[in-house]
Amino acid sequence: MNRARDWKKASAGLLIALGFCLGWAGQDCPHEGPDHRLLGRAGCWIQRMLTIESARPPSKIWLLDFGKTSMRIDPRHPHLLIEWPTASGKLWRFRAGYRWDANAKAYIFPAIAFKKVDGPMKEYPIERVVGRP
C-alpha cells in the first residue's frame, strides 16, 4: 500500500516538473513562432543568449543531392537542412543548428525541427546554393 502512495506522489511530482520544463507558447523567446520550446523558459533564455541579431543572410550554402533528398549546409553558421518528398506531394524537413530567420534578419540558435511542410525552405533559395547546376 505504501508503494502505491509513493508511486502516485512520484507521478504527481514528475507531472509538475514537466509542466515547468516543457515548452508552451508565449514564453518570450526570440522571434517566437507557433512551435514549442523543449526546455520552456530556460530554453528561451539559452536561445536569447545565442541568437545573432542584425546578421546578413547566408551567402554560401553547400548542397548535396541524393536522388529526391536534398541536404543543405550553411558553413558560416553551422546549420543542416534535409528535405525529402512525401507521397502526398509535401516535404519532410529536418533541420538543426543555427536557423536563418529572414523576417528578423537574425540567426536563431539552438534550433532543431522535424516536420511536414508544403515546400522548400524559403530562407535558402536555390540561387544561393553552391553545387546546384
Domain boundaries, given as residue ranges, for the chain: 1-50, 53-133
Most confident of 42-56, 90-104, 117-131: 90-104
CB-based burial label for 109 (10 Å; 0-12, 13-18, 19+)? buried
Residues ≥6 apart with Cβ < 8 Å to 36: 22, 23, 24, 25
SS3 assignment, position 84: strand
Q: How far apart are CA 114 and CA 128, in angstroms?
A: 23
pTM above 0.75, yes or no: no
Contact 25, 36 (CB under 8 A): yes
pLDDT of 24: 45
Q: How far apart are CA 51 and CA 43, in angstroms?
A: 12
Q: pLDDT tier at 2 (50, 70, 90 boundaries)?
A: low
According to DSSP, residue 118 is labeled S
The mean predicted confidence, pLDDT, of the chain is: 76
pLDDT tens digits, 6-65: 666 666 555 555 554 444 444 567 677 666 666 777 778 888 888 888 888 888 888 888
Helix residue spans in 22-131 (DSSP H): 40-50
Q: Which of 51, 64, 57 is nearest to 97 (CA)?
A: 51
